[in-house]
Structure 1
Amino acid sequence: MYDNGRYGKGIVNQTTGVVGYERNPGEIVGNINSIGNPVYEVLRNNEKINTLRLQGSFEGEFKITDYLKVNSRIGGNKFYSRNRVFSDIKDAWLNGDPLRTAQQFEEFKAKNTESLEYANNSLSYETLEQFRWSWENFLTFNKKFDKHSVEAVLGMSREKYDINSMMSDKGYDVPQKPQYWSIDHGSGAYKVESRQIYYTPRALASYFGRVQYNYDSKYYLTATLRRDGSSVFRNTGKYWGTFPSIGLGWTVTNEGFMKDATWINLLKVRGNWGKLGNQDIPLNISTILTSPTSSSYNYVFGPEQNMVFGSAYGTPAKNLSWEVTEETGAGLDFAFLNNQLSGSIDYYHKMNTNAILLVTPTYTSAYEDKFYDHGAKILNQGVEVALNWNKSISPEFSYSVGVNYSYNKNTVKEVKAAYDGDQGGSLNNGELTKQLRVGQPIYGWWMYEMNGVWQNQDEINSNARQGSPKPGYLRYTDENADGVIDSRDRKFFGSFLPSSTYGINLGINYKAIDFNVSGYGVAGNKIYNGMKSTRINGGENIALSTFENRWTKEGSTNSHPGAERDFLPSNYYLESGSYFRINNITLGYTFNNLYSSKSKLRLYVTAQNPFIFTNYSGFSPEIAGDGSPNLTSGIELSAYPTTRNFLFGLNMQF
């Protein structure tokens, strides 16, 4: 991480020096790849970002009677940012080759008066303005009648999110001194590049009611009804969705027949059913872009199959409405041994009846880019368990242990016929790694099965193969035994989604010393390790093990491909994504009664993300991706390890 806050590319790309490297004595050539030196990129670009955020809220309450009141809350959040980047183009050109001179640059500049490649520099400004406000109103009734307790709430809310505008301007050949950095001072020889983007505001209106009832702290009922309207669905007119829910509870330990069971402090049984709506899809998804000059794609009409002027290729919304998840669940809360041991167990069954997916157009579609549609019915079901142990040994010594575990099974139950087998998981080299299939996790891994390494040409000539492999390439299994390796030989290899997640927390207090350790982990998922494939082709840094284990000659290995290889997706690049990370270790000491009975001083040291335990050979098994199941989730192409932080601090209380 550089001093301007940017993460560099040094982990991925070569950093040989600004001007190139010496291949042979006296022979200096350019960079190893076209990406360049990341350190120099940071030094050559002078970037400054100014941000301003204003936020606030106001709440009022009016008590009508002892059991009836009105609340109103209003809040707002204003954000503004301005980004300035000065880039020295001439300096970058001169440093690209040690033989270049300033005179040569000026000569090229004179011959190419409109070429931005020979501008002295560039200066760009980008501004972004956002505003969000919300207004909520509640009418609350709360009253007890003997053993009956009732709370009822009626409410309405309004919310609006608006990206007012995003503007950018870029000029060239401005003065070198920072005090004169203004696009107005740029050379008139180059056209100022300007653009302005307006986003359609997103608004949400809601009406809701909730009733909570319990009898004698034994029997509980909660019923909720929501009516939500979202401007996201303005193109289809399907603004509104209705979402009911109901929950029941029974505190068994409050029954008379449990009064002698002193060993159990709490036993509560719960059940619930409800529907939940989702409107979180990208802004401006109804915008249709056009590609009037493209010759790379064929349109679907006409004998020549040429692309028609202005045919759509953007990401339009297609008959979208609220995405609805129907959930049924049951749970158990318990506590034993004077509440020293407590916990909960929950089972859930969540059926997403009309999942909004970013799908690939079919051959007969009017669009050539991915678009959003209700494409599948997806089930998530599983179990969640939490246990806590708290023990006080003496007034000076106590400790606590908390653990949690959850298991989830994700299954595609139905898929629209047009999207059955829809592919995703791009490796950015034309190859895809995932498919949408009924009975499997959403966009599970679909790829070739590795079956050794080609050792010689005779072996290649006498077996089924894909393309034109060479010795050292991976062999693939002919799944359908037709003598040809093609897409029909791909098979299912699991999911990028973990089936299990877990966490642990340990706390110890002894006199004035406090100590805490927490960690979390996942299991049951697989990660596509791009370090071992696409980076080799890009001339980027690779793992030492990839180099040392590579195939070099016949018989050297049948487990790893050579340095020259194809880049077809296969299970060779899949690895277990299981890991356990200790994310926090804190040790503190508290000085009490320093100046008064209420004064305290606590000194502490904290290590954040100090350890991770995993067999994954890439940079990090915590792959964020882009959040979309059919894009790069679970694929490591440009991940960076999670940083370790060590903090020293103090808290003072007077």
Structure 2
Amino acid sequence: TIPVYQKDGSTFAGESGAGYSDRNNPLHMQYLSRWNNATRLTTFGNVFVEIQPIKNLFFRSSIGADNANFLRKVISPTFSEGALSRTTNSLLYDQNHFLSMTFSNTLRYNWTLHTDHRFNFLVGTEYVKTDLDFQTTRKEGFALQTREYFTLNAATGNTNVTGGSTGNRLFSQFGRVDYNFADRYLLAVTVRRDGSSRFGANNQYGIFPAASIGWRIDKEAFMQNNPIFSELKLRAGIGRVGNQQIGDLARFGLFDTRYGTTLSQLVGGFWEQYMNIGTAYSLNGSNTGTLPSGFVQIQAANPDLKWETTDEINTGIDFSILQNKIFGSFDYFSRKTTGILITPPVASALGEGQSKAVNGASKSNKGWELVLGYRGDRVGQLRYNVQLNLAHFRDKITELPENVRPAYPGNLVNTIIGRSQFDIFGYKTDGLFQSQDEVAKAATQIGAGPGRIRYVDINDDNVINDLDRTWIGTTLPALEYGLRVDLNYKNFDVSLFGSGVAGREGFDVYTIFNNLMRSRENVGPGVFNAWTPQNTDTRIPALTLKDNNNEGRPSDYFIVNTSYFKMRNIQLGYNLTPKAVFSRLRIFAMGENLFWFKNKSYQSPDPERIDLDPVPIPKTFTLGVNATF
């Protein structure tokens, strides 16, 4: 435990010697950051013009912009805190400018033939331009440690400036035809041609057609005056969509200058330089003065990069019964995705700059979505509505080219082909070793010993190694669901919305921090129940400062049920009696992310977060007024 202040209260306290890597006094770190600030200014808008040159023909042109400017200022003063210190102060400015503009033009024509035949025709183009400029400036050496003195021109030490820019362009041409016969039979056909600057000239454009049909059964003569169905509609669709979500420069070969760059590693709690990867080179061999910089390749070009495509077939039904009291819909879909965009890891033996973006795996998805709702009868002055949403889907990797295998879990023995991309790959465990005799009788396992995790020899070769990894769970939930309830009583209204997942597994990364002993870091309360010869009825390994058993490896030791239900929104409102100025006046209070229910053994502070982000999704409370004039 580190005391907050020195005994005399003169300054913040710190550790007296080398030790934990997270040993900084947190209150002192907060105090040192008191002058830091960040500002973001965002402006956006859209203007359009629509004209009707002739009857039923409409031309619309619109332009929209989204502009954001970000500036972050970080002041790092010198300090001394026990064994820790910062001897050089610095000022950092981090800024970027983002601008996205969208220019759209459409021509729409409506045509009715003999009353029952209605057509809508639409053609158009859209151009999207996105740019991002960024720069970071860091200067060292300030004579005074006052907030006002930390300006760039007051620095006398080292200066480091980095920056760059990126952007992309998307141009689309599209057309759509809608046909409606007597409000009973519906047909829609769409074709898009999208071109992206993220792909090479040979594959820059993709064509994405789609079609859908619908049948309003409730409009048929034989359904008139039906006592059960108020609405009944069947629908189906087929189509293709494209995905261009890859880096703006993914198709290019990239080179970088790394003048004087060195790599560092953490040794004994301190960063030490161990390799110079700089590109500076002395042409005359003197190695003095300002040296010219060479270039190093950081990415290989791929001129054949193209659109990732997904083909989908879907069917559905919309219905309401008992005079619209009960309503709902059901959808079933089947998707096949090919040419998934990915930048797979590359073996170091291939040398620098061989990493490149490719069109890799293929996968299929199948699933369904169900919506059920009830519009309740008025009970006195109480009105209520309830709606339930359910969804389920499963995916499967169907093709995995050799060059992208390292980007997916699995190995040559247990391939992911035929499995979900959300499946978890790792070791199975079988409790803890209880004695040296158990260790001797088990498969050879480096680091094994009493109180250590025992791993299962999957392939029965009497050795625990990478070939014993297998599939140990899935982060894909069996069911996703949501529930909404709306209540109205006199002038009061209440709405509640919650959602969650069921049948989901995942790594509880907080088990590592709470149950495993680690050198030079704080540990959680779980270590108080660690294995000892006198405390064998536990799943927490024996304490050790050196993890020779590699117990942090992916294994089912960390797999838990991560299902949850979260109350996402509760709102209470009151409608005031409108005055002459207002046609409606309502005050309300709202809370978001208020509480949740989860498996007790799941230690994450927020069940929605299954990563190591220490910041949970915040609870928010809002008071507001809705006024209509």
Calculate the TM-score normalised by the size of structure 1.
0.82
What is the match of residue 133 of structure 1? 101
Task: Indicate the SS of the match to 2:376.
Answer: strand
What is the match of residue 6 of structure 1? none
What is the match of residue 502 of structure 2? 523
Q: Which residue identity lines up with residue 142 of structure 1 in the other structure? A: N
Task: Indicate the SS of the match to 1:42.
Answer: helix
Partners of 2:30 and 2:169 in 1: how far apart?
40
What is the match of residue 650 of structure 1? 625
What is the match of residue 304 of structure 1? none
Partners of 1:148 and 1:465 in 2: how far apart?
77
Kindly provide the CA deviation profile for residues 340-374 of structure 1, in whole angstroms up to 9, marking residues without a partner as x.
Answer: 11110000001111111232225764557864322
Tell which deviates more after alignment, 67-76 or 281-290. Answer: 281-290
Task: Indicate the SS of the match to 2:254.
Answer: coil
Tell which deviates more after alignment, 164-173 or 77-86. Answer: 164-173
Partners of 2:249 and 2:26 in 1: how far apart?
34
Shift of 1:392: 3.6
- 1:411 partnered with 2:377: no
Partners of 2:132 and 2:322 in 1: how far apart?
55
Cα 1:552–1:315 change in 2 (3 A) is farther
Shift of 1:16: 5.3
Partners of 1:410 and 1:588 in 2: how far apart?
42
Partners of 2:129 and 2:552 in 1: how far apart?
46
Task: Indicate the SS of the match to 1:466.
Answer: coil
Shift of 1:548: 4.0
- Out of 469, 472, 484, which is 1:490 matched to? 469
Correspondence 1:112-261 to 2 at 5 A: 117-119=86-88, 121-145=89-113, 146-187=115-156, 190-199=157-166, 201-234=167-200, 237-261=202-226
- Out of 599, 610, 615, which is 2:594 matched to? 610
Q: Which residue identity lines up with residue 97 of structure 2 in the other structure? A: E
Correspondence 1:491-506 to 2 at 5 A: 491-506=470-485
**Would you say how many aligned residue pairs link Structure 1 and Structure 2?**
581
Task: Indicate the SS of the match to 1:533.
Answer: helix
Cα 1:30–1:390 change in 2 (3 A) is farther
Partners of 2:375 and 2:573 in 1: how far apart?
20
Partners of 1:488 and 1:557 in 2: how far apart?
30
Correspondence 1:403-552 to 2 at 5 A: 403-420=388-405, 422-423=407-408, 437-442=416-421, 444-533=423-512, 536-537=517-518, 539-544=520-525, 546-552=526-532
Partners of 2:360 and 2:591 in 1: how far apart?
44
Task: Indicate the SS of the match to 1:142.
Answer: strand
Cα 1:612–1:16 change in 2 (3 A) is farther
Cα 1:214–1:441 change in 2 (3 A) is same
What is the match of residue 622 of structure 1? 608
- 1:278 partnered with 2:266: no
Correspondence 1:49-128 to 2 at 5 A: 49-89=38-78, 91=79, 94-97=80-83, 117-119=86-88, 121-128=89-96
8 Å CA contact 1:15–1:38 kept in 2: the answer is no
Correspondence 1:295-310 to 2 at 5 A: none
- 1:339 partnered with 2:324: yes
Calculate the TM-score normalised by the size of structure 2.
0.85
Tell which deviates more after alignment, 455-464 or 223-232. Answer: 455-464
Tell which deviates more after alignment, 519-528 or 154-163. Answer: 519-528
Q: Which residue identity lines up with residue 531 of structure 1 in the other structure? A: Y
Task: Indicate the SS of the match to 1:332.
Answer: strand
Shift of 1:85: 1.2
Shift of 1:275: 0.3
8 Å CA contact 1:361–1:368 kept in 2: the answer is no
Q: Which residue identity lines up with residue 336 of structure 2 in the other structure? A: M
Shift of 1:653: 4.1
Task: Indicate the SS of the match to 1:488.
Answer: helix
Cα 1:325–1:421 change in 2 (3 A) is same
Partners of 1:333 and 1:485 in 2: how far apart?
55
Q: Which residue identity lines up with residue 461 of structure 2 in the other structure? A: D
8 Å CA contact 1:465–1:476 kept in 2: the answer is no
Kindly provide the CA deviation profile for residues 146-197 of structure 1, in whole angstroms up to 9, marking residues without a partner as x.
Answer: 101110100001011011343423332253233332121112xx22111122
What is the match of residue 33 of structure 1? 20
Partners of 1:61 and 1:538 in 2: how far apart?
68
Partners of 1:390 and 1:76 in 2: how far apart?
41
What is the match of residue 353 of structure 1? 338
Shift of 1:279: 0.5
Q: Percent same amino acid among aligned pairs?
A: 27
Cα 1:214–1:600 change in 2 (3 A) is closer
Partners of 1:599 and 1:319 in 2: how far apart?
60
Shift of 1:144: 1.8
What is the match of residue 541 of structure 2? 561
Shift of 1:534: 5.5
- Out of 234, 243, 246, which is 1:269 matched to? 234
8 Å CA contact 2:185–2:214 kept in 1: the answer is yes
Tell which deviates more after alignment, 360-369 or 202-211. Answer: 360-369
Q: Which runs of 5+ in 2 are unaligned?
A: 8-12, 264-273, 278-293
What is the match of residue 290 of structure 2? none
Task: Indicate the SS of the match to 2:31.
Answer: helix
8 Å CA contact 1:448–1:477 kept in 2: the answer is yes
Task: Indicate the SS of the match to 2:144.
Answer: coil
What is the match of residue 266 of structure 2? none
What CA RMSD, in Å, does the superposition of the two structures yield over aligned residues? 3.1
Q: Which residue identity lines up with residue 148 of structure 1 in the other structure? A: H
Tell which deviates more after alignment, 154-163 or 284-293. Answer: 284-293
Q: Which runs of 5+ in 1 are unaligned?
A: 1-13, 21-25, 106-116, 299-308, 426-431, 624-633
